[in-house]
Amino acid sequence: MELHQISAEAPSIKPVGASVIWTIYCHIHIESGRRYIGQTKKTWRQRWDQHVCQAKSAKNGYGHFRNAIRKYGKEAFSHQVLESCSTIEAANEAEDAWIESFSTRDPEFGFNLARGGTHKPHDIRNNPWDRPEFREANAGRNVAALMTPQARAAQKAALTKEVRSAATKAALARPDVQAKREVFQKDPAYREKISTSLKSSLASSEVREAMSARTAALHEDPEYRAAISAGVLTAFARPDVKERHRAAVILAQSDPVLLEQRRAYRASDETKKKISASSKGRKHSPEAKAKMAELARARWADPSVRAAHAAGLSRGA
């Protein structure tokens, strides 16, 4: 989203400077130039997200500005930070001045329905939770009530693996979520942070043993193995996946560092024992053997694979 600079038409109210807690913001309908001006103790983006959420709600979705969000969509608006203030009094004064400056109470120029400067903070001294009768009446909504064994069991029963999986798939299918993931996944600082975290975790023998035990238990489940097999087959049916895999294999076979690491790993007694233990009692079906042979012949028919293999052998000689 675009964050505009302060307009030259703005009144000359100066930001307070240090200890800023109030923001005077402006949301602008790009096509018509109509504005909505408000104040918040949150960031302008958090307040905008609230406006969008309220516009989608049947309960809170009424009002000139919320109707406009529903009609035009959230992407039809740009955003502007007008001023920052350190007190509610200063924020009220500034909000009123900005609304008057842009005439946003006039439907031709804006979406505000009321004049600014009328906000009053909640009286924290009059907290209803301080009253015993209120606490007793609302005990069922208390956080402590949600942490009882019965409540946790009910939550676990409701959030089944299927429900969580469906929710995750639905979220990852959204273009906005995919765009956000792509941004931070390409960030070198993020990748370094993830790498450091994984290395730190895997440095513990207890963590490695726990992961190994969980993986072994999963692979004992026929349904899990079938799901993994189906996923791999589906992925490798795509030409782009096949090409990426082929390129990665060729790169690995032509990289002396990776080749040496692989040789060292396979040469260790611990690895040999693991391979032997996992292979005992496992026999490939005739169909599987024929398919493996076919794949090997097709792969060996690739001149680049043969060249990489020969180069690796010459280096190891």
Render pLDDT for 102-155 as a digit per residue (tens, 0 to 9). Answer: 999 999 999 998 888 777 665 555 667 777 887 777 766 666 667 778 888 888
Q: Which residues contact 280 (CB under 8 A, 6 or more apart)?
A: none
Dist. CA 262–CA 56, nearest whole Å: 55
Tens of pLDDT along 42-60? 889 999 999 998 888 755 5
**Three-class SS state of 86:** coil
Domain membership of residue 281 (yes or no) is no
Contact 160, 154 (CB under 8 A): no
The CATH number of the domain holding residue 60 is 3.40.1440.10
Domain membership of residue 50 (yes or no) is yes
Which domain range does residue 77 map to?
3-102
Residues 200 and 260 in one domain: no
Domain membership of residue 314 (yes or no) is yes
Residues 7 and 93 in one domain: yes
Domain membership of residue 301 (yes or no) is yes
**Which stretches of 16-87 are DSSP H helices?**
44-56, 64-72
pLDDT the model gives residue 58 = 59
What percentage of the chain has pLDDT greater than the value 90? 19
Pairing state of beta strands 77-85 and 22-29?
antiparallel
Q: Give how many domains the chain has, as a whole number.
A: 3
